[in-house]
Amino acid sequence: MMPRLRLVPRSAWIALLLVLLVGGGIRFDQARHPIKGKELSADARSYATIAQHLALTGNYSGTNGKVKALHWPPGTPQVFALAYKLQPGKHPTHRDDTRVLNYAQWAISTLTILVLFVLGWALAGPWTGVVAAALLAFYPPAFWGPSNLLSEPLGALMVTSAFAAVALAWRTRLLPWWGTAGALFGGVLLTRTDLLFVPPLVAVLALVVLGNTVGWKRGGQAAAALLACCAIVVLPWTIQASDTAGKLVPVTSGGGSAFFVGTYLPGNGSTYDMKYAMLRQIRAKHPKYAKTGYKQIPAAIVLDDVAHRHPELDRDAALMKEAKKNLKDAALHHPVELAGMFSFKIGKMWFRATLGGSSTPMPLLRIYHVVLILAAFFGLLYGLLRRRDPALGAILLGLATATGVHMIAVAHGRYNLPLMPILIAAGCAGWTVLIRDWRNRRPRPAPAPSEPAAGPPSTPAAVV
pLDDT digits (tens, 9 = 90+) for 89-148: 555 445 557 889 999 999 999 999 999 999 999 999 999 999 999 999 999 999 888 888
Identify the pLDDT of residue 89: 59
| Alpha-carbon span 308 to 314, nearest angstrom | 9
**CB within 8 Å of 327: residues ≥ 6 apart:** 263, 408
Nearest residue to 183 (alpha-carbon basis) of 237, 213, 226, 140: 226
The residue ranges of every structural domain in the chain are 34-192+197-250+342-439, 258-332
Q: Is 464 or 46 the better-scoring residue by pLDDT?
A: 46
Question: Does residue 12 sit in helix, strand or coil?
Answer: helix
- The pLDDT score that the predictor gives to residue 328 is 94
Phi/psi of residue 269, each to 5°?
Answer: 70, 15
Instruction: Please give the pLDDT value at position 391.
Output: 96
Q: 5: buried, middle or exposed (CB in 10 Å: 19+, 13-18, 0-12)? A: exposed
* Residue 461 scores a pLDDT above 60: no
**pLDDT by residue (tens digit) across 347-399?**
999 998 887 656 666 888 999 999 999 999 999 999 999 999 999 999 999 99
The angle subtended at Cα 315 by Cα 312 and Cα 320, nearest 5°, is 95
- Torsional sign, CA 111, 226, 188, 433: positive
CA atoms within 13 A on the CB side of 280: 1
Whether 453 has a pLDDT exceeding 90, the answer reads no
| Residue range 202-256, pLDDT digits in tens | 999 999 999 999 999 999 999 999 999 999 999 999 999 999 888 888 998 878 8
Query: Averaged over 182-209, what is the pLDDT?
Result: 96
Q: Compare 454 and 307 and report the one with higher pLDDT.
A: 307
CA distance 69 to 76: 12
pTM over cut 0.85? yes
